[in-house]
A and B are shown apart, each in its own frame.
Chain A
């Protein structure tokens, strides 16, 4: 890996970090996007996209809700895809490196958010001095620190760690590979469970079955779009009926406290 490539990959990781803060969560962090970008940098777009798709499925439910740090799928995905492309291997390698990185960077983000808290009191003092320029100043400062932090960290891992990554991948026995493959098919379930955890209420259970059964029996031939369109139609009818009646049967036990966790 050349110096430039490692630097560019560092920039991709940093971009996924500031995307949440500065670009309105526009989803640059999704592995399909990072897979594409890393693929462009390392000259293998097709493979980058395929590995990205695999990671995407695994992290389909990696949701970021409330003030807690979330699984850092941006940096995890970037380093994961880069490791796989660098060693010429597949999604198993991406998972092997991507998952631990995503978890580690989650802790890193927790530390940073604690550290940034210390800026807040300073902004308060600046407001008392009527120095309103400090508001954008500190706001931007956090972004710049984030960018540098993630860029440098990823660059170091990619530029000086690539021989170690290659050694690990090449030394991987076949049984470990089987294990990683099984992990990759089971991890999407955590994601789906997380999503259910946000949306699910008892009275919604029938609609879950409406989504699952046709897809399970008819399989890939049946487009997901058809099922979702059907669900939209049902939702629309129910909304029209109930809003004219003015009756709300929906039990709303969870929605008020969900955002906190």
Chain B
């Protein structure tokens, strides 16, 4: 397909412009700051489309730029979906003078929460964990393929989500979203993703947090290895208990940084005392 295939006849937005938005979407977090968060990155990403839409309307362009300088923040991978919807809505706004432009930001804001929730579950909870877990096995053997396995496994869903998110967002984003929310499939989808997520975390705790107790007693000539008793109770009991305690603390609103410091201090002391290895 030629790169100048026209997607939107009215505003002469071409495939090339969409490709540009796609690449620019990777830089969304590039100018992350506390005041507007990802706003500048968002505006930068959709700029090629805005320039075409408001080619002969300088006031409209100015207003649109200000509109997208409003604070915006979400998990980056699904963000092109929002960009697609935004471009579609900007086109509507240009065409229909009665179009309520505030609804554009309203849609963006309403998407930040749910899409970030889904994005975090998938990209931080599942894709990253799987990619890292598989790559760790190779890295432990010193296999130089490990980093490439990690990057490829993670970035396939990362790139595909961006590519199709942008397309779907533009062509039928608003419709799709209302359908999903009405039917409740969105929550169901997140829930089912959660099943895979928690099962892999459960598995990881057992496999990759090898906390053990090296204590050995000698009572009337027989050696008693404490860890063997713990294993009879339940294998991998110590990592499970540690993880769940930290989890309980975080769920009660505990600070992550405090949890890390506490574990470092507790771990260090127990290690020095020879209770944990």
A193 at the interface (CB under 8 A from B): yes
A21 at the interface (CB under 8 A from B): yes
- Which residues of chain B have C-beta atoms less than 8 A from A201's C-beta? 191, 194
Provide the B32-62 mask, 1 if CB < 8 A to any CB of A, else 0: 1111110111011001000100000010011
Q: Is the CB of A189 within 8 A of B242?
A: yes
Q: Is the CB of B243 within 8 A of A183?
A: no
B107 at the interface (CB under 8 A from A): no
- List 19 A-B pairs, Cβ < 8 Å: A18-B30, A21-B27, A30-B132, A35-B139, A49-B139, A120-B69, A132-B51, A135-B65, A139-B27, A139-B40, A142-B33, A143-B27, A182-B277, A207-B198, A208-B199, A212-B205, A224-B204, A255-B190, A256-B117
Q: How far is the CA of A87 from the CA of B258 in the complex (A)?
A: 30
- Which residues of chain B have C-beta atoms less than 8 A from A28's C-beta? 151
Q: Is the CB of B147 within 8 A of A189?
A: no
Q: How far is the CA of A162 from the CA of B170 in the complex (A)?
A: 53
Interface residues of chain A, those whose CB is within 8 Å of chain B, are 18, 20-28, 30, 32-33, 35-37, 45-47, 49-50, 52-53, 56-57, 60, 63-67, 71, 99, 103, 106, 113-117, 119-120, 123-124, 127-128, 130, 132, 135-136, 138-140, 142-143, 175-176, 178-190, 192-201, 203-205, 207-217, 219-220, 224-225, 227-228, 230-232, 234-236, 238-239, 242-243, 246, 248, 250, 252, 255-259
Interface residues of chain B, those whose CB is within 8 Å of chain A, are 25-37, 39-41, 43-44, 47, 51, 58, 61-62, 65-66, 69, 73-77, 112-114, 116-117, 120-121, 123-125, 128-136, 138-140, 142-144, 146-147, 150-151, 154-155, 158, 162, 183-185, 187-212, 234-236, 239-240, 242-244, 246-247, 249-251, 256-257, 259-260, 263-264, 266-272, 274, 276-277
Q: Is the CB of A180 within 8 A of B205?
A: no
Closest CB of chain A to B93's CB: distance in Å? 17
Q: Which one of A26, A30, A136, A142 has the greatest number of beta carbons of chain B within 10 Å?
A: A30
- Which residues of chain A have C-beta atoms less than 8 A from B34's C-beta? 67, 113-114, 117
Q: How far is the CA of A7 from the CA of B209 in the complex (A)?
A: 35
Closest CB of chain A to B70's CB: distance in Å? 10
Closest CB of chain A to B176's CB: distance in Å? 15
Closest CB of chain B to A33's CB: distance in Å? 4
Other-chain contact of B77, A25, A65, A211 (Cβ < 8 Å): A25
Q: Is the CB of A193 within 8 A of B77?
A: no
Q: Is the CB of A196 within 8 A of B190?
A: no
Q: Is the CB of A255 within 8 A of B184?
A: no
Across the two chains, which residue of chain B brings its CB closest to A247?
A: B184
Q: Is the CB of A195 within 8 A of B124?
A: yes
Q: How far is the CA of A33 from the CA of B254 in the complex (A)?
A: 31
Closest CB of chain B to A190's CB: distance in Å? 5
Q: Is the CB of B150 within 8 A of A259?
A: no
- Which residues of chain B have C-beta atoms less than 8 A from A230's C-beta? 199
Q: How far is the CA of A46 from the CA of B129 in the complex (A)?
A: 22
Other-chain contact of A130, B62, B206, B210 (Cβ < 8 Å): B62
Q: A25-B77, A256-B113, A259-B113 are in contact. Are A196 and B247 (CB under 8 A)?
A: yes
Q: A33-B151, A47-B142 are in contact. Are A200 and B199 (CB under 8 A)?
A: no
Q: Is the CB of A120 within 8 A of B39?
A: yes
Q: How far is the CA of A223 from the CA of B82 in the complex (A)?
A: 38
Q: Which one of B136, B155, B235, B251 has the greatest number of beta carbons of chain A within 10 Å?
A: B136
Across the two chains, which residue of chain B brings its CB closest to A205?
A: B198
Q: A119-B31, A259-B113 are in contact. Are A130 and B58 (CB under 8 A)?
A: yes
Q: Which one of A140, A213, A228 has the greatest number of beta carbons of chain B within 10 Å?
A: A228
- Which residues of chain B have C-beta atoms less than 8 A from A183's C-beta? 263-264, 267-268, 271
Q: Is the CB of A36 within 8 A of B203?
A: no
Other-chain contact of B188, A24, A186, A243 (Cβ < 8 Å): A243
Across the two chains, which residue of chain A brings its CB closest to B76?
A: A25
